[in-house]
Structures are given as structure tokens and as C-alpha cells.
Amino acid sequence: MKSLREWLKWAEEKQVAIGHFNVSDSEGFKAVTEAAEELDVPVIIGVSEKERTFLGVAEIRALVKIKQDEGKPVFLNADHTYSVEASKEAVDNHFDSVIIDGAEKPYLENVLMTKEVVGYAKGRTLIEGELGFIGQGSTLLDNIPDGVSIETQTTPEDAEKFVKETGVDLFAPSVGNIHGLVKAGEPKLNIERIGEIRKIVPVPLVLHGASGNTDEEIKEAIEAGIRVVHINTELRLAYKKGVEKGLSSDELAPYKFMALGVEEMKKLVTHKLKVFNGIN
């Protein structure tokens, strides 16, 4: 079976992006993997520190392993991991990739912690680093979070330096993207900046916080060099909408009222995967 590293090369050759969707339970897992299987595309399951605490690290690893043993291109990412310790735990638990998130820390501290995790992984797990703060948490926001502005967007020079100094396998820049969904409207993605960073950074670029960005913008970002796109907030909204519908019926069986949540998530994931993979 092709590894995540090989699928990233495939995405680069095809000029597409691999979808990354966060889940915190087996319903989310079912929705994301069914959508990817039906479209026959690779997919990354993301679990943040809190999501994997709720679901269980060994439990989500086991679910993904079942798919991988069947030869399905389903991969597991330890999303936003804020400590070196928790990152090492994810490496030890055979996650396919880990994001060590030092984006809110001073540059040097971010470099040192990221470098330590890269050294620990020794290529067993792909390590993603982040530079440029884009807020935290996948929720509905009234305004753009404090500390995020055009000035905090990642410059091509800093990106090149950071990737070289840390040795990361994947890189997440701040390019107008924001974690969560801004109710008053999302800022625009800085497509030009993505292209500039892509030109001098030799590793795949990851777009976080793509909930709320239009399909058109995301397509342009992929054309400019994005190879992984993260969706969480929109998936949470879809899930809640479906479950609310299920709960307002007379159904008592969880597999019936929860099924509506799965259905809503699956619809959303299918749509996003078509956009990311250039499928009409």
C-alpha cells in the first residue's frame, strides 16, 4: 500500500489536494471514509488533542488500521499538538503524521520544539510544522481572532528558513486562512503568497482552517500549490444539523437518529473531496 508520503507525491503530480477532516467519534469516521471510498480518493482523518482524548488514541488508530489493512488510502493525523510530549506519543502510536503546533510561540521556540519532534520521528511519521498564527479552535466566531492580521501572514523568506531549520515533511503557512468560521465573512485567501511560498519551499503545503472559504478560492489555492486542505468547523455544523433533525423525530434507535448526522457529514465531505480532487 502507498504511504501518505507517496500519496502526497501523487497529489503534487496531479495538482490536487488530499482532504483532511477532523472527527471525534465513529460517526464522523464513517462519514469521511465512506465518502472517500465512494470517490476512490485518499483521505486524512484528523484528531486534535481534545478530539483524540474523547475518542481514544488507540481506538482511532485501530479504526484507521482496519481500513489500511484492507488496502484503503485512509491516513491518521495528530492535528494541532501543542507539546513535544504529546507529539512523541502520537509518533509512538503509529500515526501517519503529526502537527507540532508552535505557531503561537516565539520563532526560535517553535523551531526548537519542531526540530525535536522531527528528530524523534526519524521518518517513521511525517511531521508538519506551522509558522504564522491563525487562531485556535473550530468554532463559530463573531470576528477575526486577536493576533491574526495581514502582518502575521507567513513570508516566503521565513517559510524557507523555518522548513530548512526544522526539517519538517509538511508545512502549514498563515495565508489569510483562519481556524473557525467568521460569521461576518471570512477574509480572502492570499493566493499570491501561497504561490510565492510554494516556489521556495520544497515540502507540501497544508491549508488549515479552510471552512468558510469558497470552492473557487480553494481551487485557486490548490493551483497555487496547496496539497492538503483541512475542514473541521463546517463538518461540525453539518453533523449537528443532521443530529438535530434525527433527535426531533420519534426515533429511539441511535443508529437511526445518528444516521442523519452521518448523512449530512457525508454530503459535505463528498462535495469538498470533489473540489479538492478536481472531480466534477
Question: Interface with Zn ion by CB under 5 A: which residues?
Answer: 208
Which one is catalytic: 79, 96, 101, 169? 79
CB nearer to Zn ion: give 114 or 257.
114
DSSP secondary structure of the chain: ---HHHHHHHHHHHT--EEEEE-SSHHHHHHHHHHHHHHT--EEEEE-HHHHHHH-HHHHHHHHHHHHHTT--EEEEEEEE-SHHHHHHHHHTT-SEEEE--TTS-HHHHHHHHHHHHHHHTTSSEEEEEES-----SSEESSPPTT-SGGGSPPHHHHHHHHHHH--SEEEE-SS--SSEETT-PPPP-HHHHHHHHHH--S-EEE---TT--HHHHHHHHHHTEEEEEE-HHHHHHHHHHHHHHHTSS---HHHHHHHHHHHHHHHHHHHHHHHHT--
79: annotated active-site residue: yes
**Closest approach of Zn ion to the CB of residue 232, in Å:** 7
Residue nearest Zn ion (C-beta atom): 208
CB nearer to Zn ion: give 206 or 238.
206
CB nearer to Zn ion: give 49 or 264.
49
**Closest approach of Zn ion to the CB of residue 259, in Å:** 28
**Closest approach of Zn ion to the CB of residue 191, in Å:** 19
**Closest approach of Zn ion to the CB of residue 51, in Å:** 12
CB nearer to Zn ion: give 209 or 261.
209
The residues assigned a catalytic role are: 79
